[in-house]
Every structure is written in C-alpha cells, then in structure tokens.
C-alpha cells in the first residue's frame, strides 16, 4: 500500500512539473527567435534616392526568406527563382543586418507577428546609390 501511494505521489509530482512548464508567448520572445523559419515574400518595395518607389509582387510558394536556426546564422532567399544565401545578425536595438555576397542590408523592424513580418533596410546598389527596400512577408 505504501509503495502504491509513493508511486501515485511520484506521478502527481511529474504531472505537476510538466503542466507548470509554459511555452514562452510570441510577444515575449527575442526578435531573433521570432524571425526563425521560412517566410513567404509577398512583395518588396524598392526606392532609390530621387526616384519613385517600385513595388515588385512575388507571393509564389518559391518566393521566400528562410532564417535558419544554426551556428552559422545563415539565411536563404529565393525571389523569382533567383536564390541567394547569406548570413544575418540581430543587434541589441532590434535592428538587424542581412549580409549578401553583393552587399549589406541594414534593416529595422517595422512589424512582426506569428504570421506577418515587415522590415525596411538600406544598402548601396551596384551603382553606388542608396537603395531602400521594404519587405512584406507572411507565413
């Protein structure tokens, strides 16, 4: 009888321990963790200094940015079949950098939720002009 009561108490303790573990709410997670995973690209708006903005709509399953959770902090971007791999870092102020082989996009978070992600970044284009890009992503 004592053995049965001890066993029941043990299982009750284990059950209590597991039920008290709470998953961290999305809003409480650091930006880096919110960004992890594959995001489908809906559109990208590009503006070059002194010119009108140009919006490119993608929204196909093959148009994505995949922020990988690994030791290399790499990401994969595919737009219209043009695939690029780079690395990414999140800064203390919740800005982040995307390092492509052709340049650095310094970005600021506009909005992020479990299903939507929008950010705006700047980089120098091949002509040496500053280009601002706003990405609209979804899951």
Q: Give pTM, 2 decimals.
A: 0.81
pLDDT digits (tens, 9 = 90+) for 74-120: 999 999 999 999 999 999 998 999 999 999 999 999 999 999 999 99
Q: Residue 71: is it exposed, middle or buried by C-beta count within 10 angstroms (0-12/13-18/19+)?
A: exposed
User: Which residue ranges form the domains of the chain, and what is each CATH number?
Assistant: 36-138 (2.40.128.20)
- pLDDT at residue 17 tops 60: no
Q: Which residues of 26-58 are buried (b: 16+ CB within 10 A; e: fewer)?
A: eeeeeeeebbeeebbbeebeebeeeeeeeeeeb
Mean pLDDT, the chain, rounded, equals: 88
> DSSP characters for 44-86?
EEEEETTS--EEEE--STT-EEEE--STT-EEEEEETTEEEEE
pLDDT of residue 135: 98
CA separation (Å) from 11 to 3, 7, 23, 92, 101? Answer: 12, 6, 22, 43, 55
pLDDT digits (tens, 9 = 90+) for 27-65: 889 999 999 999 999 999 999 988 999 999 998 889 999
């Amino acid at each position: 009888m004592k053995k049965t009561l001890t066993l029941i108490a043990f299982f009750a303790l284990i059950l209590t321990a597991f039920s008290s573990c709470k998953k961290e709410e999305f809003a409480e997670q650091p930006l880096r963790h919110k960004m992890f995973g594959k995001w489908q690209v809906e559109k990208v708006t590009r503006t070059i200094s002194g010119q009108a903005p140009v919006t490119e709509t993608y929204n196909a399953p093959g148009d994505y940015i995949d922020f990988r959770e690994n030791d290399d902090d790499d990401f994969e971007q595919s737009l219209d079949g043009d695939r690029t791999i780079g690395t990414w870092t999140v800064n203390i102020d919740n800005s982040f950098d995307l390092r492509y082989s052709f340049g650095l996009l310094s970005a600021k978070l506009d909005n992020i939720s479990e299903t939507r992600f929008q950010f705006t970044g700047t980089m120098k284009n091949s002509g040496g002009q500053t280009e601002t890009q706003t990405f609209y992503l979804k899951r």
